[in-house]
Amino acid sequence: MVTSHQSSDWEIVAEPERVDQSIRADRILDTAKDLLLRWGYRRVTIDEIAKRAGVGKGTVYLHWRTREQLFFAVGAREAAAMIDAVVAAMRTDPTEIALHRYMRRFFLEAMRRPVLRAIFTRDAETLDKFLSSPARKPLESAKLLASREYLAALAEGDLLREGLRPEDLDYSLPTIVFGFFAIEPLLPATIELGLEDKADHLADTLRRTFEPATPPPAVRFAAVAAKVIEIFQQLAHDYRAAAYRATGD
């Protein structure tokens, strides 16, 4: 029979173990991220990651069963951090939930994070065969760009163009946004635009295409901001959970 005292002792022991697992997982992910950006996907091996992270090869596999899952976890952790930054901006200013402002920040945050930039611009030099791996596909899903729940919240708050339904954006929205990422390696050197300028062009395109001609009053954004923030908090949680799934965090 396990007494309450024994149960408490187990919990005291178990919690540091979970913390240790999380710290170890982050060390492995940090190492994998660094090597990915320095050497590219093809050259990075689990043996090298384990050696540089100061763990055994078997320890890496305790967290992630395959090399592809490990690199997906690197990207998922970056995606969660990016969404955290988006949520923080929305908390500070509710008008950040506007479609064009959210996507502007999304673009900036993704392009400033080398792993996500490589994924969204399909940087074959860095990612090589990982681009064709099923493991990376969730990182390019429309859900990461804008969930249907988010667009529905905007529609309910009259923050989309009149008559525009959330499902009407399923094709056009990701096509536009992904286009701004995909064009990067194809841009001629004569186009000298900074990242902020590119983000401004994206925001202006989305505002003119999908939002009311007259900017809505701030009170409309405030009315649905809490719901939108909750949606993106859950999205960040989902990506973080996917990154650390094997650790139990």
DSSP alpha helices (H): ranges in the chain?
A: 4-39, 46-53, 57-63, 67-92, 99-111, 114-120, 124-127, 142-145, 148-156, 169-182, 195-210, 218-243
Count Cβ atoms below 10 Å from residue 192 Cβ, excluding itself: 8
Q: What is the pLDDT of residue 14?
A: 42
Q: What digits encode the pLDDT tens for the residues 133-156?
A: 777 776 666 566 668 899 999 999
Least confident of 32-41, 86-95, 107-116, 123-132: 123-132
Residue 245 pLDDT grade (very low, low, confident, very high; cuts 50, 70, 90) = confident
**Cα-only R_g, the chain:** 21
Residue 247 reports pLDDT greater than 90: no
pTM attached to this predicted model: 0.86
Mention every residue, 6+ apart, whose C-beta is less than 8 A from residue 83. Answer: 232, 235, 236, 239
Domain parsing of the chain, residue ranges: 71-247
Closest alpha carbon to 194 in 81, 86, 80, 107 = 107
Residue 125 pLDDT grade (very low, low, confident, very high; cuts 50, 70, 90) = confident
Q: What is the pLDDT of residue 1?
A: 46
More confident residue, 7 or 104: 104
Residue 246 reports pLDDT greater than 60: no
Residue 129 pLDDT grade (very low, low, confident, very high; cuts 50, 70, 90) = confident
